[in-house]
Structure 1
Amino acid sequence: MPLADMTGSSRTAHRGLAAKLFAILVLVGAITVLATGVLGYFRARDALEKAVFNQLTIARQTKARQVETYFRTIVSELRLLSTSQMVIDATREFRIAIDQLDRGGASPELRRKVGDWYAANYIPQMRSVLGREPPLSDYLPVGGAPYYLQYHYIVENPNPPERRKLLDDAGDGSEYSRLHAIYHPLMRAAATTVGFFDLMIGDPKSGRLIYTVQKEVDFTTSLQFGPYRRSNVAAAVARCAETADRSAICLEDFAPYAPSGGAPIAFMGAPVIDQGVVTGVLIAQLSNDEIDNVVTSVRRWRQDGFGETGEAYLVGPDYLVRSSPRAFYENRQGYFAELKSVGASGDEVAAIQRFGTPVMHQRIDTYATRAALAGVEGIGEIIGYRGAPTLASWGPLAIPGVKWALVAKIDTAEAFAPIARLRQDLLIVGGLVLLAVTATAAWLSRVLLGPLRELTSGVKRFAAGDYGASVPVRTRDEIGQLCLAFNGMVEDLRQKNTVIENKNRENEELLLNVLPAPIANRLRAGEAGIADGFAEVTVAFADLVGFTALTSEMPPHEVVTLLNGLFTRFDVAATDLGIEKIKTVGDAYMAVCGLPEPVANHTERMVRMAIRMVHITREHAMEHNISMKLRVGVNCGPVVAGIIGKSKYIYDLWGDTVNLASRMESGSVPDAVQVTRAVYEQLKHQFVFEPRGPVEVKGKGKVEAWLLRL
């Protein structure tokens, strides 16, 4: 063949190989960039979604605890007030004073003035609430005392309506006003301190509110007849009047309350018991503002990590909110526009605007609220009450008397905004990387051949720790021989590395069987003479009663099998409770809790371990059809621990605490756990102990001991 043809053929072959190498490199680069980008995007999205759900769940659980704590606090405060002698005396004396006023009646002139006040002040308010003209006669007081007291404390009160409570004595000279001047400042201060909007006293006998702090139009009116007989305050009084239990609390959920202008009000009642008889009901009018402040953290959503659209809100069993949504406070105009856009009725929007609150007027019926009200906790992406995709965490609240749910949420668009930016960045970076790969592939295809690249790749994989790396031997030239030698070297090193790893694993297992993990780590690090003092640990000794006599006639392998099975079960129990086994000597078992890592409840854990050991011994004896009982001794206090020996070292304990624990075991009774005073003092409120009295302890004389009742 002519030299020119050979040269051309060589160049054509070179160009073909270079083209193939270039195409392969570009394709591999493109697939890698695409796979990395897609995988990174979805993993980042999943990680962000998980983080958002975790944050929402933590926020919801925190809010739930805060709301539940708030209710537990006010329950305790109301219960404390209702059992105070002040409230008991006030209830008894106010009832007597009301009866006196009833017998005295009210003059026609006084009745006319009260009626005129209702017509001028209260009826217009009820007209706006009801949307119609209500009859005046439906709301006027009934009886002499209501007319008399409403005239002096409401009609003639010199203070504006929101400050009527500042009037201590109406100056009318009545017995009621004398009592009011005594008790009212105290009750007003109690309501302000606890955070109740109003404190009332209901008389279950007459059905009247014989005292209120705020002096609204429900003051001295009847809860059995008239316009307020179906109110939730009437329900609270009726419920609490039926029980003479000082711990009883009657909580009534939010409902519109006419005397407060139709605003949603919740009431909490507690019976007032005098000599075993319910003489009254102390009622707290709960402030929705207080609950709102707890749920919204006083409108500090951003500081709580809710971003621009996140929030938490309460929903009742009627799917009406019990706390105001965030948009109501931050963007009132946008809030009403969104309500209308998602199909809220005109009446719902008008009610919110009229009463100035969404509570008991805005309905939120979503998957999250339905699940939470059904008692199910959960997370997920839902369509929120604003009609937008939302990430939410939901769950019920544990508040006796009401069935509420709490939802924490954030708009999906805001939550995944970083992912949208990441997608853009990945596209830009991916394009740049693909361009770089293309340029690099073009250069490498001209200067390197495939086998050399494969060899280089194999070397890199091996250097990165892939001891199974190998390269194909495609030629018989020097590169092929080099590839063959490389493969032989990798295989030899892989086999040796496998042997080394197996040996290391065996050595590690042996070391951990002898020593606790932290001590083993210190020993591997080269620390010598390991010895530590521990101020407070709990040590237990256990010994099988009569084991030598029991096994004297048994074959050796059966003795070992029996004892090994029992101690193996002890070891499993010790691992479950975080207890460190120290050693076994014959049929004795020694363990400690509280070292080498401190444990707060080490004494409780060790006593539970002792109980398990006794039960395990019983079960083991029944399974092997033998009579076998265990004695256990437990003591707590300071010890010294360290490694002794060199060729067959052991981790052991010393000190009086260890000695006394051993004496507790040897002086115990079969099938029982004997403890020292130190153990008894720590756990006497958690376990039942029987005093054994002073027992003789070698080297200690008489020592008090207790037996744990199993």
Structure 2
Amino acid sequence: MGANDARRTVTGIDRRGGLSVQSRLLIMLLLVSLLSAAVVGAVGYVSGRESLRAEVVDKLTAMRELRTGEITALLGEVQREAALASNNASARDASTALNAGWDALQNRPLSGEQDATLSSYYSGTFLPRLEGVTGDDYADRAFVPTSTAGRNAQYLFTRQDGAADRPATDPGDGSAYSAAYLQADDYFSDLVRTVGYTDVVVTDLSGDVVYTAAGGVDLGSNLDDGPFRESRLAQGYRDVVAANSVDTIVTTDIEEWTPALGFPVMWVVSAIGDDDGITGAMALQVPIQWINDVTTGYEQWQQQGFGATGETYLAGSDRLMRSTSRRLVEDRDGYAAAVIADGTSSDTAERITEAGGSVLLQPVRGTAVDEAIAGRTGTAVSTEYIGGESITAYAPLDIDGLDWVIVARMDASEAFEPVTDFTRTLLLSTLGLALLVSILSLLLSQSFTRPVRRLALAVRSVADGDYSTRVPARGTDEFADLARSFNDMAGDLEVRQELIDHQRTENDRLLRSIMPQSLIEKYREGEETLAERHDDVAVVFAELLGFDEYSRSLDGQAETLALNELMRGFDEAAVRCGVESVRTLRGGYLASSGLTVPRVDNARRAVEFALGMRESVQRFNARTGASLDVRAGVDTGAVTSGVVARASLAYDLWGDAVSLASRLRRSGEEPGVFLTDAVRTRIEGLFDLEDAGTVHVDGRETPVWRVS
């Protein structure tokens, strides 16, 4: 067999120009096995994915309907309790007495001392707490009622603790209003203590808040023209009064309630009166926790079949949540990172984590919410607020006064995890099958051609320059003798080539470490003068400040590691900015732009590099706690580069630009990036500059500029 025949055998091409029998057998077995595995896998993947999706959709739909019924039942029960609590003799008597007492207070102005006490409560207690929570500023008397009766009511009954579950204290003023307030408190505060409402608010027909169980700053205000006139409570009161019917019940959407320090609240407002007419309105403040308990299933997600990521949540037409997020409850830090990555602002995420709730804060988006707000019920695979795709079941909520939607979701990655595992197993099985088929076909077809093929491949490898190639030399036949002779020859060639390559690599490495390629070529050609002049080059001469003090606490190895880290950062900044590193010292760094590669913007690159050095040092400081900085001088002009000796090669730059950059570097103690006038004129408008004085050069004062 000749050399060409051997090559045809190795490459799988026979003498007639077609595939060899060995190659045909290998291809046939591989195609059959891989095609069978692919068909089975595709069918299994599609059917498994659809089956899992249908199962998850059914589960989410069931949970959506269950939560819808529970929320509807909860709010329906609150509405019935509001109707019962407001349409009885106790409520009517309390409302009538409060209204009469209120009218009497209108003719009883506060004394100067009493008014000062009320103002002191706001400026010293309530407003600091409110501003600390919301971050907003308020006028000292922003919530002081304008009416005489309102100010009297706040002076008598507004209390600092805001505890609605404790009875009011008799102020001892002997007024009819105080007597009516205490009598009403016996009835209304019982709703807080026994049922669990967070507050009960009673108004007259003029919009005056004549009673609150919590004694908050809403007491005494007017819902028509007072500070809370734009609130949902005010709108609910107006709707009830406008209907003028004891059967009217209004449920409001959740709002951030200022008297509760911005905490989210919702109201169920009912008229007080009888068939002869109404005397006022009563508003029950519904705890948001009730909504969260129902929506989250009392945080029993795993036990209720939601897996590791499933949940239900409520949203309003403004696309803000009306219930809390599961991820926030289980992993507050992970929640913030996830919603920020999905587009929620970092300020909003911070407010959510600080408040410990996502109600009225977390924006939601995606197909599920959009479709539900449009009034449609269905399921979808959509992007959710927490990031990534989710399987969702969505629907609008049919509750009077509330434009809410409900979404049940689960991460698609969790839902389809069994399919992913199956796909992974299928791929591994297919690869294993392909490997097994390849091995069997090779064993069957190569029994007699193996020695020749190995030797032919080895010859080609050596011809291509791979002298490490060896062939097995087992047995005592002629092939074994030939293999041993080949191995001896290849080993000898490998040793010689390694010696040559090592010497060439070492020479090139040393030359590249001290001079640019253009001077390397001159050096190899034997030229005596190894120098080049460059007319337009920007030079950066930087000094590392504070390293000596920092290194005193380090041993030699740690000091070297720290210095290497800093210099690597400088080198990376140089590459990023297109700047050439010239010389590195223990505390300094010399670099240029436009030296080996001419650049029209070399001054800008040099300044960006100097700023990049400071940023690199600041990152080092942040990681190590050091207090290092950089003072860099930048000038532009003509320089000369070259090798200053033959026996001991040293590459350097010199010239006026280098000298002036060095002078700027050493002209003071303050860190920063300092520029000459020549650099300033080239970068003006690109950076913010400030006058940094002058430096004395050649008998004259040269202006210096600092990048601010």
* TM-score normalised according to structure 1 size: 0.55
Deviation at 1:371, TM superposition (A): 0.7
1:144 aligns with 2:145: no
Please state how far the C-alpha of 1:217 moved relative to its aligned partner: 0.8
Q: Is it true that 1:310 corresponds to 2:310 in the alignment? A: yes
Q: 2:372 and 2:84 mapped to 1: Cα distance? A: 32
**Is contact 1:272-1:278 (8 Å) kept?**
yes
Q: Quick one: which of 57, 64, 86 aligns to 1:60?
A: 64
- How many angstroms apart in 2 are the aligned matches of 1:132 and 1:30? 67
Shift of 1:427: 4.1
Q: How far apart, CA to CA, are the structure 2 residues paired with 1:269 and 1:201?
A: 9
Which runs of 5 or more structure 1 residues have no equivalent in the other structure? 1-19, 442-710
The aligned residue for residue 373 of structure 1 is 373
Deviation at 1:24, TM superposition (A): 9.7
Moved more, 340-349 or 264-273: 340-349
Paired residues, what number?
425
Post-superposition offset of 1:372: 0.5
Alpha-carbon shift at residue 315 of structure 1 (Å): 0.7
Inter-partner Cα distance in structure 1 for 2:327 and 2:382: 19
1:80 aligns with 2:84: yes
Q: Distance in 1 between matches of 2:34 and 2:319?
A: 53
2:31 and 2:137 map into 1 onto residues whose CA distance is: 82
- C-alpha distance in 1, partners of 2:92/2:321? 36
**Rounded Cα–Cα distance in structure 1 between residues aligned with 2:164 and 2:400:** 33
Residue in structure 2 matched with residue 187 of structure 1 by the alignment: 188
Contact 2:246 2:274 in 1 (8 A): no
**2:176 corresponds to which residue?**
175
Map of 2:53 onto structure 1: 49
In the alignment, structure 1 residue 217 sits paired with structure 2 residue 223? no
Instruction: Name the structure 1 match of 2:675.
Output: none
Unaligned runs of 5+ in 2: 1-23, 442-708
- Whether contact under 8 Å (1:169, 1:177) holds in the other structure is yes
Q: How does 1:562-581 map to 2 (within 5 A)?
A: none
Name 2:579's counterpart in structure 1.
none
Counterparts of 1:122 and 1:115, CA distance in 2: 10
**Closer/same/farther in 2, CA of residues 366 and 99 from structure 1, 3 Å limit:** same
Give the partner amino acid of 2:203: G
The answer on whether the counterparts of 2:328 and 2:356 sit within 8 Å (CA) in structure 1 is no
- Give secondary structure in 2 for the equivalent of 1:60: helix
Shift of 1:297: 1.1
| Alignment match, 1:643 | none
Query: Counterpart of 1:392 in structure 2: which amino acid?
Result: T
What is the identity, as a one-letter code, of the residue corresponding to 2:186? Answer: P
SS at 1:393 equivalent? strand
User: What CA distance in whole angstroms lies between the structure 2 residues aligned with 1:353 and 1:335?
Assistant: 8
Q: Write the distance in 1 (CA, Å) between the matches of 2:241 and 2:300.
A: 41
Amino acid of the structure 2 residue aligned with 1:116:
S
Alpha-carbon separation, structure 1, partners of 2:100 and 2:410: 57
Q: What does residue 104 of structure 1 align with?
A: 108
Aligned to 1:532: none
Residue 82 of structure 1 and its aligned partner are, at CA, apart by 1.7
Amino acid at match of 1:189: D
Preserved contact between residue 232 and residue 253 of structure 1 (Cα < 8 Å) = yes
- Conservation of the 8 A alpha-carbon contact between 2:94 and 2:183: no
Structure 1: distance between partners of 2:59 and 2:47? 18
Shift in CA distance, 22/229, structure 1 to aligned 2, threshold 3 Å: closer
- Would you say 1:419 and 2:430 are equivalent positions? no
Q: Is the 8 A contact 1:255 1:264 kept in 2?
A: yes
Give the letter for the 1:142 counterpart: T
Contact kept, 8 Å, 1:245 with 1:271, in 2: the verdict is yes
Match of 2:205?
204
Q: Which moved more, 1:127-136 or 1:76-85?
A: 127-136
Quote the residue 2:446 is aligned against.
none
Tell whether the 8 Å contact from 2:102 to 2:149 is kept in structure 1 after alignment.
yes
Query: Tell me, what secondary structure is at the counterpart of 1:138?
Result: coil
Matched with 1:121 is 125
Q: CA deviation at 1:181?
A: 3.4
Per-residue deviation, 1:132: 4.2
Deviations 1:286-330 (A, max 9, x none): 211110111011222212222222111111011111111112211
Deviation at 1:353, TM superposition (A): 4.8
Deviations along 1:84-126, one digit per CA (max 9) or x if unpaired, are: 2211111111111122222233222111111111111122234
- Kept in 2, the 8 Å contact 1:236–1:269? The answer is yes
Residues 1:62 and 1:110: Cα distance change in structure 2 (over 3 Å): same
Query: 2-side partners of 1:85 and 1:21: how far apart?
Result: 98
Local SS of the residue matching 2:252:
strand
SS of equivalent to 1:253: coil
The aligned amino acid for 1:40 is: G
> 140-149 vs 110-119, which deviates more?
140-149
Greater displacement, 290-299 / 417-426: 417-426
> After superposition, what is the alpha-carbon deviation per residue over 1:414-452, rounded to whole angstroms, capped at 9, x for unaligned?
1111111122333455677899999999xxxxxxxxxxx
Using the TM superposition, give the Cα deviation of residue 130 of structure 1 relative to its aligned residue in structure 2, in angstroms.
5.7
Superposition map of 1:276-675 within 5 A: 276-353=276-353, 355-428=355-428
Amino acid at match of 1:179: A
Give the match for residue 44 of structure 2. Answer: 40
Residues 382 and 22 (structure 1 numbering): CA distance in 2 closer, same or farther, change over 3 Å? Answer: closer
8 Å contact from structure 2 (residues 273, 279) kept in 1: yes
Report the CA distance shift for 1:212/1:440 in structure 2 as closer, same or farther (over 3 A). Answer: same
Measured in 2, the distance between the counterparts of 1:103 and 1:217 equals: 21
Letter aligned with residue 173 of structure 1: G
Greater displacement, 117-126 / 26-35? 26-35
Give the corresponding residue for 1:257: 257
Do the aligned partners of 2:154 and 2:219 also contact (CA within 8 Å) in 1? yes
Q: Partners of 1:332 and 1:25 in 2: how far apart?
A: 54
CA distance in 1, matches of 2:44, 2:31: 19
- For 1:293 and 1:122, how far apart are their aligned partners in 2? 30
* Aligned-pair CA distance for 1:243: 1.2
Take 1:22 and 1:357, find their aligned partners in 2: how far apart are those partners?
63
CA RMSD of aligned residues (A): 3.4
